[in-house]
Amino acid sequence: MIRAFATENGRLLPVDAAQAGESVVWMDLHAPSREEAHLAQQWLGVEIPTREEMEEIEISSRLYAEDGAYFMTVSLLSGTDTEAPTVAPVTFVLSGRRLLTVRYSEPKPFRSFPQRAEKAATGCSGGDSILLALLEAVVDRLADILERAGRDVETISQNIFQARGTKASERGRDFQKLLTAIGRKEDLVANIRDSLLTLQRLSSFLGAAAGPARIAKDMRARIKTLTRDVVSLADHSTFLSQKINFLLDATLGMINIEQNAIIKIFSVAAVVFLPPTLVASVYGMNFTNMPELGWEWGYPFALALMVASAILPFWYFRRRGWL
């Protein structure tokens, strides 16, 4: 799919991509076909990267200048409202006053930003201003995702440390759900950190490329602000990652406590029933010379002895505070 936009009074105006001319300042390619990629190359005047080139991890393959155009590839999140968010590369190509974006995923800012820029003036006058506004929307989106993840982590923390009066089987199922939730949040935060790392590199590259003759002073100030925002979000994501790791350790510790409590119950039960078992084993032997065999009160005496031998260890454990 291909979308083209022109600008008017600081707003974006969608236009027909097939008739892209001098008025078009931003062209957005989403999983483009060969014909759409060829049209975009003719409009921009430079060769656009392929999907395989976008997925290269080397910085030199993601951030570079060629033929007067700046190629910047970052990893952005998509599908964060689902249980399986993904990270995919997105390439920004800035050539003069024209901006081209190439992507094979659907990050939310690529839907929300054009809609907002069509309704209200956002200062979009050229490809550079559109690029900065789009990057600011991406950073705002990541901040919202981090804030929501922080609330979810706080809820998980409360569920771990709250008093539990349910059955052991229900507690086991709760811990399984908690471990699943912790794992998902760790994956999400790790993906956010990866995305912020690529955005931090992009902002540094863009700041170095933004010479006084190329980008206005206010745009350079926006780049610096964008860089500070990305760094602060990266620090917050690191804090969340550390807290998630702490919650993981705490959950595993709670599971060990639950298992130790169950094992302790079985151990106490084994000790409590060991003396009665011994008494029953003694009187279960059919030797000829056993005085109690002919005793009228032998059977009640054996029962009383077994009960007493079970109660005494139990009372001792309670007195020592082991139960």
pLDDT at 294: 72
The answer on pLDDT for 115 being more than 80 is yes
The neighbour count for residue 38, using CB atoms within 10 Å, is 12
**Identity of the residue numbered 320:** R
pLDDT at 232: 92
Residues 184 and 66 in one domain: yes
Query: pLDDT of 126-165, one tens digit each?
Result: 778 888 888 888 999 999 999 999 999 998 888 888 755 5
pLDDT at 166: 55
The answer on pLDDT for 16 being more than 60 is yes
Query: pLDDT of 168-217, one tens digit each?
Result: 555 555 788 888 888 888 888 888 998 899 888 888 888 777 655 455 66
**Identity of the residue numbered 310:** A
Identify the H or E element spanning 209: helix 168-209
- Residue 133, classed as helix, strand or coil, is helix
Residues 12 and 48 in one domain: yes
Residues 311 and 197 in one domain: no
Identify the H or E element spanning 77: strand 69-78
Query: pLDDT of 54-113, one tens digit each?
Result: 787 776 677 888 878 888 888 888 887 777 788 888 899 888 788 888 888 888 888 888
Tell me which residue range forms the domain holding 200: 2-258
Average pLDDT on 280-298 reads 75
Distances (CA, A) of 287 to 278, 284, 300, 304: 16, 9, 19, 22
The number of domains in the chain is 2
Residues 36 and 108 in one domain: yes
pLDDT at 157: 87
Residues 151 and 297 in one domain: no
Q: What's the pTM?
A: 0.76
CATH code for the domain of 275: 1.20.58.340
pLDDT at 211: 57
Query: pLDDT of 21-62, one tens digit each?
Result: 677 888 888 888 888 888 887 777 788 888 887 787 776 677
Contact indicator for 85, 114 with CB cutoff of 8 Å? no
pLDDT at 213: 46
Residues 10 and 60 in one domain: yes
Kind of pairing between the strands at 24-30 and 98-103:
parallel
pLDDT at 318: 77
Query: pLDDT of 229-274, one tens digit each?
Result: 999 999 999 999 999 999 898 888 888 877 787 787 777 778 777 8
Residues 46 and 80 in one domain: yes
Residues 178 and 242 in one domain: yes
Nearest-angstrom CA–CA distance, 159 and 120: 43
Query: pLDDT of 222-231, one tens digit each?
Result: 888 888 999 9
Residues 147 and 223 in one domain: yes
Residues 101 and 220 in one domain: yes
